[in-house]
Amino acid sequence: MVVFPELSLTGYLLRDQVPELALRLDDRRLSPLLRAAKEVDVLFGCVEEGDGHRYHNAAVFLSGGRVAHVHRKVYLPTYGMFDEGRDFAAGDRLRAFDAPFGRAGALICEDAWHPSAAWLLALEGAEVLFVQSAGPSRGARKGRGVTSVGVWNDLVRVTAQFQTAFVVYVNRVGYEDGLNFGGGSIAVDPFGRTVASLDALEPGLAVAELDAEVLRRARTAYPLLRDENLDLAWRELDRIRRARFGLPQDALPGPSPLRRRSLRR
Protein backbone atom coordinates (compact mmCIF):
# COMPACT_ATOMS: atom_id res chain seq x y z
CA MET A 1 0.00 0.00 0.00
CA VAL A 2 1.20 3.52 -0.83
CA VAL A 3 0.11 6.43 1.37
CA PHE A 4 0.30 10.06 0.26
CA PRO A 5 -0.13 13.27 2.31
CA GLU A 6 -3.21 15.48 2.72
CA LEU A 7 -4.48 17.09 -0.52
CA SER A 8 -1.68 15.34 -2.40
CA LEU A 9 -3.34 15.80 -5.81
CA THR A 10 -3.75 19.56 -5.52
CA GLY A 11 -1.59 21.25 -2.92
CA TYR A 12 -2.86 22.89 0.24
CA LEU A 13 -3.28 26.65 -0.29
CA LEU A 14 -6.12 26.44 -2.81
CA ARG A 15 -8.49 29.26 -1.82
CA ASP A 16 -10.62 30.20 -4.88
CA GLN A 17 -9.24 27.26 -6.88
CA VAL A 18 -11.21 24.72 -4.81
CA PRO A 19 -14.17 24.35 -7.25
CA GLU A 20 -11.83 24.18 -10.24
CA LEU A 21 -9.68 21.41 -8.76
CA ALA A 22 -12.49 19.40 -7.16
CA LEU A 23 -13.14 15.84 -8.35
CA ARG A 24 -16.16 13.63 -8.15
CA LEU A 25 -15.32 10.03 -7.42
CA ASP A 26 -16.42 8.96 -10.91
CA ASP A 27 -14.18 11.57 -12.58
CA ARG A 28 -12.22 10.15 -15.52
CA ARG A 29 -9.09 11.92 -14.28
CA LEU A 30 -8.86 9.28 -11.57
CA SER A 31 -8.52 6.48 -14.15
CA PRO A 32 -4.70 6.23 -13.97
CA LEU A 33 -4.83 5.88 -10.19
CA LEU A 34 -7.59 3.29 -10.39
CA ARG A 35 -5.56 1.24 -12.85
CA ALA A 36 -2.50 1.44 -10.62
CA ALA A 37 -4.60 0.40 -7.61
CA LYS A 38 -5.37 -2.95 -9.22
CA GLU A 39 -1.89 -4.01 -8.12
CA VAL A 40 -1.11 -1.77 -5.13
CA ASP A 41 -3.56 -0.15 -2.74
CA VAL A 42 -3.39 3.66 -2.61
CA LEU A 43 -4.49 6.29 -0.10
CA PHE A 44 -4.34 9.81 -1.52
CA GLY A 45 -5.75 13.23 -0.70
CA CYS A 46 -7.90 15.41 -2.92
CA VAL A 47 -10.74 17.91 -3.05
CA GLU A 48 -13.90 15.86 -3.45
CA GLU A 49 -17.06 17.44 -4.80
CA GLY A 50 -20.06 15.95 -3.04
CA ASP A 51 -23.79 16.39 -3.35
CA GLY A 52 -25.07 19.94 -3.48
CA HIS A 53 -21.66 21.15 -4.75
CA ARG A 54 -20.13 20.80 -1.31
CA TYR A 55 -16.35 20.57 -1.42
CA HIS A 56 -14.51 18.32 1.01
CA ASN A 57 -10.91 17.81 2.01
CA ALA A 58 -10.94 14.06 1.44
CA ALA A 59 -8.79 10.95 1.88
CA VAL A 60 -9.59 8.36 -0.78
CA PHE A 61 -8.62 4.69 -0.43
CA LEU A 62 -8.31 2.70 -3.65
CA SER A 63 -8.10 -1.09 -3.61
CA GLY A 64 -8.57 -3.67 -6.34
CA GLY A 65 -8.98 -0.93 -8.93
CA ARG A 66 -11.95 0.76 -7.25
CA VAL A 67 -12.79 3.40 -4.66
CA ALA A 68 -13.12 1.37 -1.45
CA HIS A 69 -13.45 4.14 1.15
CA VAL A 70 -13.61 7.93 1.45
CA HIS A 71 -13.01 9.96 4.59
CA ARG A 72 -14.03 13.62 4.58
CA LYS A 73 -12.06 15.75 7.02
CA VAL A 74 -14.30 16.37 10.02
CA TYR A 75 -12.36 19.04 11.89
CA LEU A 76 -11.45 22.03 9.72
CA PRO A 77 -8.98 24.33 11.56
CA THR A 78 -9.78 28.04 11.54
CA TYR A 79 -7.09 29.30 13.92
CA GLY A 80 -3.59 30.67 13.48
CA MET A 81 -2.53 30.37 9.86
CA PHE A 82 -5.44 28.04 8.98
CA ASP A 83 -8.75 28.98 7.38
CA GLU A 84 -10.06 25.70 5.98
CA GLY A 85 -13.63 26.39 7.10
CA ARG A 86 -13.82 29.06 4.42
CA ASP A 87 -13.01 26.68 1.58
CA PHE A 88 -14.36 23.28 2.62
CA ALA A 89 -17.47 21.67 4.07
CA ALA A 90 -16.81 19.52 7.13
CA GLY A 91 -17.33 15.77 7.04
CA ASP A 92 -19.96 14.37 9.37
CA ARG A 93 -18.93 10.76 9.99
CA LEU A 94 -16.07 8.55 11.11
CA ARG A 95 -16.01 4.99 9.75
CA ALA A 96 -13.51 2.17 9.87
CA PHE A 97 -13.17 0.20 6.64
CA ASP A 98 -12.09 -3.22 5.46
CA ALA A 99 -8.83 -3.46 3.55
CA PRO A 100 -6.97 -6.51 2.24
CA PHE A 101 -4.70 -6.37 5.31
CA GLY A 102 -7.53 -5.95 7.86
CA ARG A 103 -9.61 -3.15 9.41
CA ALA A 104 -8.32 0.39 9.05
CA GLY A 105 -9.31 3.99 9.54
CA ALA A 106 -8.29 7.28 7.92
CA LEU A 107 -7.93 10.70 9.52
CA ILE A 108 -6.75 14.00 8.07
CA CYS A 109 -4.40 16.23 10.05
CA GLU A 110 -6.60 18.19 12.52
CA ASP A 111 -8.84 15.14 12.97
CA ALA A 112 -5.99 13.44 14.82
CA TRP A 113 -5.86 16.22 17.43
CA HIS A 114 -9.38 15.29 18.58
CA PRO A 115 -8.93 12.06 20.59
CA SER A 116 -12.51 10.94 20.01
CA ALA A 117 -11.83 10.52 16.28
CA ALA A 118 -9.15 7.84 16.65
CA TRP A 119 -11.08 6.29 19.57
CA LEU A 120 -14.24 5.83 17.52
CA LEU A 121 -12.34 4.24 14.64
CA ALA A 122 -10.55 1.88 17.01
CA LEU A 123 -13.84 0.92 18.66
CA GLU A 124 -15.15 -0.01 15.21
CA GLY A 125 -12.28 -2.40 14.74
CA ALA A 126 -9.53 -0.34 13.10
CA GLU A 127 -6.14 -1.92 13.64
CA VAL A 128 -4.24 0.59 11.49
CA LEU A 129 -4.91 4.33 11.59
CA PHE A 130 -3.66 6.38 8.65
CA VAL A 131 -3.17 10.09 9.26
CA GLN A 132 -2.59 12.27 6.21
CA SER A 133 -1.23 15.72 6.89
CA ALA A 134 -0.10 19.00 5.35
CA GLY A 135 1.53 20.18 8.56
CA PRO A 136 3.60 23.37 8.31
CA SER A 137 6.96 23.50 10.05
CA ARG A 138 6.91 25.75 13.10
CA GLY A 139 9.66 26.42 15.60
CA ALA A 140 13.15 24.98 15.91
CA ARG A 141 15.49 24.26 18.80
CA LYS A 142 19.17 23.61 18.62
CA GLY A 143 19.82 19.91 18.82
CA ARG A 144 16.09 19.08 18.73
CA GLY A 145 15.20 19.91 15.14
CA VAL A 146 11.82 21.20 13.97
CA THR A 147 9.51 21.63 16.97
CA SER A 148 6.29 20.85 15.09
CA VAL A 149 7.68 17.51 13.86
CA GLY A 150 8.50 16.46 17.41
CA VAL A 151 5.02 17.45 18.57
CA TRP A 152 3.46 15.31 15.85
CA ASN A 153 5.68 12.38 16.80
CA ASP A 154 4.46 12.63 20.38
CA LEU A 155 0.82 12.73 19.26
CA VAL A 156 1.26 9.71 16.97
CA ARG A 157 2.89 7.64 19.73
CA VAL A 158 0.24 8.52 22.30
CA THR A 159 -2.56 7.74 19.84
CA ALA A 160 -0.99 4.37 18.97
CA GLN A 161 -0.67 3.42 22.64
CA PHE A 162 -4.09 4.65 23.73
CA GLN A 163 -5.87 2.88 20.85
CA THR A 164 -3.47 -0.11 20.73
CA ALA A 165 -3.23 0.34 16.98
CA PHE A 166 -0.60 0.98 14.34
CA VAL A 167 -0.53 4.65 13.33
CA VAL A 168 0.91 5.69 9.98
CA TYR A 169 1.42 9.46 9.76
CA VAL A 170 2.34 10.88 6.34
CA ASN A 171 3.15 14.58 6.15
CA ARG A 172 3.88 16.78 3.19
CA VAL A 173 7.32 18.29 2.67
CA GLY A 174 8.49 21.31 0.66
CA TYR A 175 7.25 24.82 -0.06
CA GLU A 176 4.02 26.26 -1.42
CA ASP A 177 3.46 30.02 -1.70
CA GLY A 178 6.07 30.64 0.97
CA LEU A 179 4.66 28.10 3.42
CA ASN A 180 7.05 25.34 4.44
CA PHE A 181 5.77 21.86 5.23
CA GLY A 182 7.73 19.88 7.79
CA GLY A 183 7.73 16.28 6.58
CA GLY A 184 8.81 13.90 9.32
CA SER A 185 6.46 11.07 8.36
CA ILE A 186 6.46 8.15 10.80
CA ALA A 187 4.86 4.75 11.36
CA VAL A 188 4.45 3.60 14.96
CA ASP A 189 3.38 0.25 16.42
CA PRO A 190 0.76 -0.21 19.21
CA PHE A 191 3.51 -0.04 21.85
CA GLY A 192 4.56 3.40 20.59
CA ARG A 193 7.74 2.16 18.94
CA THR A 194 8.92 3.51 15.59
CA VAL A 195 8.52 1.08 12.70
CA ALA A 196 9.75 3.44 9.97
CA SER A 197 10.34 7.17 9.67
CA LEU A 198 11.50 9.94 7.36
CA ASP A 199 13.61 12.99 8.14
CA ALA A 200 12.08 16.40 8.66
CA LEU A 201 12.22 18.88 5.77
CA GLU A 202 13.44 16.27 3.28
CA PRO A 203 11.44 14.32 0.68
CA GLY A 204 11.73 10.57 0.89
CA LEU A 205 10.17 7.13 0.76
CA ALA A 206 10.04 4.73 3.69
CA VAL A 207 8.75 1.16 3.77
CA ALA A 208 6.98 0.10 6.96
CA GLU A 209 6.12 -3.52 7.69
CA LEU A 210 3.22 -3.79 10.14
CA ASP A 211 3.37 -7.11 11.97
CA ALA A 212 -0.02 -8.51 13.00
CA GLU A 213 1.61 -10.45 15.83
CA VAL A 214 2.76 -7.18 17.41
CA LEU A 215 -0.83 -5.95 17.40
CA ARG A 216 -1.96 -9.22 18.98
CA ARG A 217 0.60 -8.91 21.76
CA ALA A 218 -0.32 -5.29 22.45
CA ARG A 219 -4.05 -5.93 22.67
CA THR A 220 -3.45 -8.97 24.86
CA ALA A 221 -1.20 -7.04 27.26
CA TYR A 222 -3.39 -3.92 27.23
CA PRO A 223 -7.07 -4.87 26.61
CA LEU A 224 -8.17 -1.23 26.66
CA LEU A 225 -10.66 -1.52 23.80
CA ARG A 226 -12.13 -4.71 25.23
CA ASP A 227 -12.79 -3.02 28.56
CA GLU A 228 -14.31 0.22 27.25
CA ASN A 229 -17.67 0.94 28.94
CA LEU A 230 -19.68 2.24 25.99
CA ASP A 231 -22.90 2.59 27.96
CA LEU A 232 -21.12 4.80 30.51
CA ALA A 233 -19.64 6.92 27.71
CA TRP A 234 -23.07 7.20 26.09
CA ARG A 235 -24.72 8.38 29.31
CA GLU A 236 -22.02 10.89 30.19
CA LEU A 237 -21.83 12.32 26.67
CA ASP A 238 -25.58 12.77 26.67
CA ARG A 239 -25.37 14.58 30.03
CA ILE A 240 -22.59 16.86 28.81
CA ARG A 241 -24.41 17.56 25.54
CA ARG A 242 -27.58 18.54 27.43
CA ALA A 243 -25.63 20.89 29.68
CA ARG A 244 -23.77 22.49 26.78
CA PHE A 245 -26.88 23.20 24.75
CA GLY A 246 -29.21 24.02 27.63
CA LEU A 247 -31.39 20.94 27.20
CA PRO A 248 -33.44 19.45 30.05
CA GLN A 249 -31.38 17.27 32.35
CA ASP A 250 -34.28 15.53 34.06
CA ALA A 251 -34.99 13.21 31.14
CA LEU A 252 -32.84 10.11 31.24
CA PRO A 253 -31.02 9.24 28.03
CA GLY A 254 -32.40 6.36 26.04
CA PRO A 255 -30.44 3.15 25.79
CA SER A 256 -27.32 3.38 23.71
CA PRO A 257 -27.31 1.89 20.20
CA LEU A 258 -25.23 -0.95 21.64
CA ARG A 259 -27.91 -1.69 24.25
CA ARG A 260 -30.73 -1.54 21.69
CA ARG A 261 -28.90 -3.97 19.46
CA SER A 262 -28.42 -6.36 22.35
CA LEU A 263 -32.11 -6.17 23.29
CA ARG A 264 -33.23 -6.94 19.75
CA ARG A 265 -31.12 -10.07 19.78
> Looking at residue 138, what is its pLDDT?
81
Q: What is the pTM of this model?
A: 0.92
pLDDT in tens, 166-212: 999 999 999 999 999 999 999 999 999 999 999 999 999 999 999 99
Rounded distance between C-alpha atoms, residue 31 and residue 25, angstroms: 10
CA distance 105 to 120: 10
- Please give the pLDDT value at position 143: 61
Domains within the chain, CATH numbers bracketed? 2-221 (3.60.110.10), 230-264 (no CATH)
Nearest Cα to Cα of residue 161 among 224, 104, 207:
224
Q: What's the burial of 180, exposed, middle or buried (CB within 10 Å: 0-12/13-18/19+)? A: middle
Pairing of strands 102-108, 128-133: parallel
Catalytic annotation, residues:
6, 73, 109
pLDDT of residue 82 exceeding 90: yes
